[in-house]
Structure 1
Amino acid sequence: MKNHYQILIIGGGTGGIMTAANLLSKRASLDIAIIEPSEDHYYQPAWTLVGAGTFDFQKTRRATASVMPKGATWIKDYATGFDADSNMVKTKSSGNITYDFLVVAPGLVMEPDLIPGLKEGLEKGIICSNYT
């Protein structure tokens, strides 16, 4: 496996996939890799419709391989750290990968404790979220 790319993208969710696709549509010769550990890709913007009961959750899932842009390399691994001074990303099992440009799009993590009352509201069921 290569260990250097012109553009390295962390995250194969909608943000990372769309960034790679847009860049490749402008210049197909770009050397782009996406670090994404999951076999499954979920189109999370549709989850608001799932939450409203108007869209089937299973239709939001696709195989990651099927949404990977043509011309991008999929590195099925976890990013575990950065060394910005060396333009390097550390991975769980693929070693260190260097880049010319880095895009960080790993998705979100719920932190309800950061908003006073949100955690309690979620636990009581008076507040809901489509994200887990």
Structure 2
Amino acid sequence: MQLITLAELRDTPLSLDEVVAAVGDPRSGGSAFFVGTVRDHDHGRTVRTLSYSAHPTAEAAMRRVMEKAAADIGTADRAVWRAAAVHRVGDLAIGDPAVIVAVAASHREEAFTACRRIIDDLKAEVPIWKHQTFADGGAEWVGAC
């Protein structure tokens, strides 16, 4: 069975149902999910628009992050069985899901730990950049070097 069942960037709305289905595994005793949504504020400022862009290598980087997290966290009797992640690119509206991560593991502890590790490492290591404009006329890039 494949460990990484979904690692994609999308310019269309994300589906929690799709990601949940992607990690279904009869060996799993627990699944954990994270849905990151576009909020209406950042740094005490009102967000007006938000757009994500990504480097062409971003999907491969997502896959590496997920494989490493599963390898580091799982053990033979407490394994991470499946992991999936999707991230939006393009223009998003307030409230839209921007990223969904799911992990299925033998036990809840490994599922929660792997899910947290994957979203943290995706944000830190995958070349996806957020451009947001604010109601006060300002703008910023987040994640750009």
Greater RCO structure (CA 8 Å; 6+ sep):
2
- Check whether TM > 0.5: no
TM-score where L is the length of structure 2: 0.24
Higher Rg: 1
TM-score where L is the length of structure 1: 0.25
Structure with more strand by fraction: 2
